[in-house]
Chains A and B, each alone.
Chain A
Amino acid sequence: SAVISQKPSRDICQRGTSLTIQCQVDSQVTMMFWYRQQPGQSLTLIATANQGSEATYESGFVIDKFPISRPNLTFSTLTVSNMSPEDSSIYLCSARDNSYEQYFGPGTRLTVT
């Protein structure tokens, strides 16, 4: 199994600023993903973080707003840029190894004022 940690666990940010969320996995994994869970909603996939190449974004999410890095097989970052109150959400990192199981981080609770 893989254990995933995220930093920060929560933050309150001002409109127009950016926040970078870090995701660390305790073992090498083939695939990493970023999800968003807005208040009262389910999880929505933002992008797949590809090691050594650009992330693959889902419809409705763009690189300029949510730049992602994945420098190696255990680490990824998601930046929420030029934030607005609509970006208030829980952001979750997940990882999948060669089995079918996908592991999730504890989430980062972001509030934009």
Chain B
Amino acid sequence: AQRVTQPEKLLSVFKGAPVELKCNYSYSGSPELFWYVQYSRQRLQLLLRHISRESIKGFTADLNKGETSFHLKKPFAQEEDSAMYYCALSGQSGYALNFGKGTSLLVTP
């Protein structure tokens, strides 16, 4: 079975502070991992995928197979980063996504 765990329901940080949104997964094969973001009143959109190893809007995420983690990090949070963040895994269901419960990030001035 595959499972995605995001332990924090809500994360509040000050502007300019580092932020880390945690994601752990369980999957027996080689997963594809993603971070999706949903800004207020907008649709869900892809932020990062582990295979591309890119940085988007200052966010990075590294797949750690030993710890089965895919934490999302940004060194200096901005107010516009406030949103709902979902970690997702693609594995047994082919290309469908298995989502974590999401973490609501609030960046305050």
Listed in ascending order, the chain A residues whose CB lies under 8 Å from chain B are 31, 33, 41-45, 48, 58, 92, 94, 96, 100-107
Contacts and interface: CB of A to CB of B under 8 A. Distances in A.
Given A45-B96, A104-B43, 13 more contacts: A33-B97, A42-B100, A42-B101, A43-B44, A48-B93, A48-B96, A96-B95, A100-B52, A102-B97, A103-B46, A104-B45, A105-B43, A106-B43
B32 interface: yes
A20 to B, nearest CB: 21
Of the listed residues B95, B96, B98, the one surrounded by the most CB atoms of chain A closer than 10 A to its CB is B96
Interface in B1-59: 32, 34, 43-46, 49, 51-52
Q: Is the interface of A mostly helix, strand, loop or mixed?
A: strand
A107 B41 CA distance: 11
Given A42-B86, A42-B100, A42-B102, A101 B46 contact: yes
Contact of A101 (B49, B93, B102): B49
Given A100-B32, A105-B43, A45 B49 contact: no
Interface of B: 32, 34, 43-46, 49, 51-52, 86, 93-102
Closest 6 CB pairs of A and B: A104-B44, A43-B99, A42-B101, A42-B99, A106-B43, A45-B96
Nearest to A4: B43
A96 B46 CA distance: 12
Contacts of B93: 45, 48, 58
A50 to B, nearest CB: 10
Nearest to B41: A106
Contacts of A58: 93
Nearest to A33: B96
Contacts of B32: 100
Contacts of A42: 86, 99-102
